[in-house]
Chains A and B, each alone.
Chain A
Amino acid sequence: MYISRFTANVCRWVGSLILGVCLTLLFSCQTDEIEGMVDRKYIFVKPDNFPEPTYTFDNNPVTEKGFELGRKLFFDPVLSRDGSVSCNNCHIQATAFADGPQHPMSVGVDNRRGTRNAPALTNLAFMREFFWDGGVTHLDFVPTNAIENAQEMDESLANVVDKLNQDDEYPALFKEAFGIDTITSPYMLHAFSQFLVMMVSANSKYDKYMRNEGESLTDAELEGMKLFEEKCASCHEGILFSDFSFRNNGINASFGDEGRARITEHSADQGKFRVPSLRNVGRTAPYMHNARFQTLEEVLRHYAGGVVDSPTLDPLLSNGAQLGISMTEEEQTKIIAFLKTLSDYDFVADQRFTNPNH
């Protein structure tokens, strides 16, 4: 909701006042009863150690009906031209909603092969740009790309909306979730976002260790964490394990896929791709935008000795006597041990994100 600054200030002022009244009321009434009425399953909770979310919840607050509708859509191949492909085809819960090794590049309608590896869908509520090239700047607009891409679902947004309006179930579900009589695309995209923002992964062994929840890391994992901070965290920084910048990490010398430069149209961005979050990285093989590497061992070996030079190679990979990051094999093994502590088994088993039709 975009309103004038004056109105916003007035709202903020009145908001503070009402907030005060509300808190007073809350403390004075039967809080237990209120608590019992709320189903925590459908509340977006920012983990304490996470940054503020980027998603515009004021426009689209999460509700049970909206979330469940988004979930149904996520698993429904009605989105694709011939009813053969759902989001779940390339975003599988067991692999933290990345694609599996059997589909290094996404496979769409008519078995068409995509050009990039489908990334994991985790912590999307905290991201400011989406896709390997960052071309999309708001989560609501993400599903449209998969729906309309000829290599993926090859369907038009307008057709999907028509199909949903003619469906036996969807019109009633949209009515329940949003109070509308006719389905339109923004409501469908809002339902998707309500589902996607809830995919918060913050319960890995690493998180539990950091939050002092009785979890401990092995010596190798702890040494790996120290090495990671020294050698990897300048790009894979912070609690989301990415600074979400775009960098050329030296996997190619020339670029069939120009990456970030496609969006900025700037030659300095040739071959740059988004630094991915490493949460659940132990489960999201294969790696890199073009699925070049099958294992984390291959990835670490690349950074240690396989970096290829090109005009846009990231300076952090070319600031020593030799390209890449200096790491012994033993150090690589320890870093991998640490990376595996980022796997969140609660997340990949969370019943809220399973196929509702199964």
Chain B
Amino acid sequence: MKTTHNILLSILLLTLFIACDEDENMSLEASGAFVVEFDNYVGTQQMQLDPAGSTDYRYANASGQEFNLSTFRYYVSNIKLEGPDGERFEDVMNVSANADDVEGYYLVLESDASSQFITLNDVPTGAYDKITFILGIAEEGVQEGAAGGILDPAEDAWFWNWNAGYINLGIEGTAADSPQERIEGDGWLVEENTFGLHVGGWKEVEPDDNYVNNIRTVTLDLGAAVTVSEDMKPQVHIVFDLLKILDGAAIDFSQTYSVHSPLLGAPLADQIPAAFTVDHVHQ
């Protein structure tokens, strides 16, 4: 009997959850769209990628060490908008094995221009002057278990198996000063003088307070209030400057060229909130 209850309940509750998700979208009255663009820079230069191992150095850090980039990526999640008159929008968050049902998590890839534009739908009409988001996949995203699409490690996701969690920010390239030796593995290759800076780590589990949590929240003023309406779709142009991270953390490529743990990534994570600025808004 009891088991029968449990089964019926599970089915009912499941149906209910799905129904509730739909309700949330449909119950909103007047709403419009809001576009967030992430535009990546290295200092004053627009970011450009080179093939892994290339010695064509486009950039230099504060101490003059030359480098280039082969991969640049980060996750953005939990986007919120706030307005001066109490307007509030919170992106719907959902983790699912079905890639199409993953909501509220975005992977910004320098190699894919379309990934740099995030369209928020169902934003209640009104004025907004503040945007908040999380850089990375926080506990709520990891602890729901295996997920599809941009969260699937067999597809686009970068995931640490050994210390389960997503790599929030991935920076790879070549630096003349990096002492990295060439390593050829079974089906993989690390080129000479390359660097890999992977910032991950989300845990803050009681009673174990030894974990390093590298999840950072970014809050930005839009400058002036922007209006969302059914026929106005504003676009906020956010600039990310990688030099703010590298120079802010005083990265010396001759010392720091292989970051693959939460502790090593912490100095980079600490610079994240200052690396984003609102460049301008298209009303």
| A and B interact | yes
Binding site for B on A (CB under 8 A): 1-4, 7, 10-11, 14-15, 18-19, 22-23, 26, 31, 34-35, 38, 40, 43, 45, 56-61, 128-129, 135-141, 144-145, 148-149, 156-158, 160-161, 178, 180, 184-187, 189-190, 193, 246, 262-266, 268-269
Q: A11: nearest residue on chain B (CB-CB)?
A: B20
How many angstroms from the CA of A193 to the CA of B147 in the assembled complex? 13
Partner of A184 from the list B1, B92, B148 (CB cut-off 8 Å) is B148
Q: Are B95 and A59 in contact, CB atoms less than 8 angstroms apart?
A: yes
CB contact under 8 A between A190 and B146, given known A22-B9, A266-B210: yes
Q: Are A137 and B154 in contact, CB atoms less than 8 angstroms apart?
A: no
From residue 104 to 162 of chain B, which have CB atoms closer than 8 A to chain A?
140-148, 151-155, 159, 161-162
How many angstroms from the CA of A53 to the CA of B226 in the assembled complex? 46
Binding site for A on B (CB under 8 A): 1, 3-10, 12-14, 16-17, 20-21, 23-24, 90, 92-99, 140-148, 151-155, 159, 161-165, 203, 205, 208, 210-212, 261-263
Task: Write out the residue numbers on chain B whose beta carbons fall within 8 Å of the beta carbon of A148.
Answer: 161
CB contact under 8 A between A187 and B97, given known A58-B14, A265-B263: yes
Partner of B20 from the list A7, A144, A158, A269 (CB cut-off 8 Å) is A7
Q: Are B155 and A158 in contact, CB atoms less than 8 angstroms apart?
A: yes
Task: Write out the residue numbers on chain A whose beta carbons fall within 8 Å of the beta carbon of B6.
Answer: 43
Q: Are B146 and A186 in contact, CB atoms less than 8 angstroms apart?
A: yes
Task: Write out the residue numbers on chain B whose beta carbons fall within 8 Å of the beta carbon of A186.
Answer: 97, 145-148, 151-152
Q: Are B146 and A140 in contact, CB atoms less than 8 angstroms apart?
A: yes
Q: List 7 A-B contacts (CB under 8 A).
A: A1-B96, A43-B7, A59-B97, A61-B10, A148-B161, A184-B154, A186-B151
Q: Are A138 and B164 in contact, CB atoms less than 8 angstroms apart?
A: yes
Task: Write out the residue numbers on chain A whose beta carbons fall within 8 Å of the beta carbon of B162.
Answer: 135, 145, 262-263
Task: Write out the residue numbers on chain B whose beta carbons fall within 8 Å of the beta carbon of A158.
Answer: 154-155
Task: Write out the residue numbers on chain B whose beta carbons fall within 8 Å of the beta carbon of A56.
Answer: 143-145
Interface of A is mostly: helix
Q: Are A38 and B4 in contact, CB atoms less than 8 angstroms apart?
A: yes
How many angstroms from the CA of A187 to the CA of B154 in the assembled complex? 11
Task: Write out the residue numbers on chain A whose beta carbons fall within 8 Å of the beta carbon of B211.
Answer: 263-264
Distance between A112 CB and nearest chain B CB, rounded to angstroms? 12
Task: Write out the residue numbers on chain B whose beta carbons fall within 8 Å of the beta carbon of A141.
Answer: 145-146, 159, 161, 164
Task: Write out the residue numbers on chain B whose beta carbons fall within 8 Å of the beta carbon of A265.
Answer: 210, 212, 261-263
Partner of A4 from the list B8, B90, B262 (CB cut-off 8 Å) is B90
Task: Write out the residue numbers on chain A whose beta carbons fall within 8 Å of the beta carbon of B148.
Answer: 184, 186-187
Query: Shortest 10 CB-CB distances between A and B: which pairs?
Result: A140-B145, A186-B97, A186-B146, A189-B146, A185-B154, A264-B210, A266-B210, A140-B146, A265-B263, A158-B154
Q: Are B20 and A18 in contact, CB atoms less than 8 angstroms apart?
A: no
How many angstroms from the CA of A157 to the CA of B7 in the assembled complex? 32
How many angstroms from the CA of A306 to the CA of B83 in the assembled complex? 66
Q: A134: nearest residue on chain B (CB-CB)?
A: B208
Task: Write out the residue numbers on chain A whose beta carbons fall within 8 Å of the beta carbon of B140.
Answer: 2
Distance between A49 CB and nearest chain B CB, rounded to angstroms? 15
Task: Write out the residue numbers on chain B whose beta carbons fall within 8 Å of the beta carbon of A23.
Answer: 5
Task: Write out the residue numbers on chain A whose beta carbons fall within 8 Å of the beta carbon of B145.
Answer: 56, 59-60, 138-141, 186, 189-190, 193
Partner of A157 from the list B5, B153, B164 (CB cut-off 8 Å) is B153
Task: Write out the residue numbers on chain B whose beta carbons fall within 8 Å of the beta carbon of A18.
Answer: 12, 16
How many angstroms from the CA of A253 to the CA of B154 in the assembled complex? 40
Q: Are A264 and B208 in contact, CB atoms less than 8 angstroms apart?
A: yes
Distance between A153 CB and nearest chain B CB, rounded to angstroms? 12
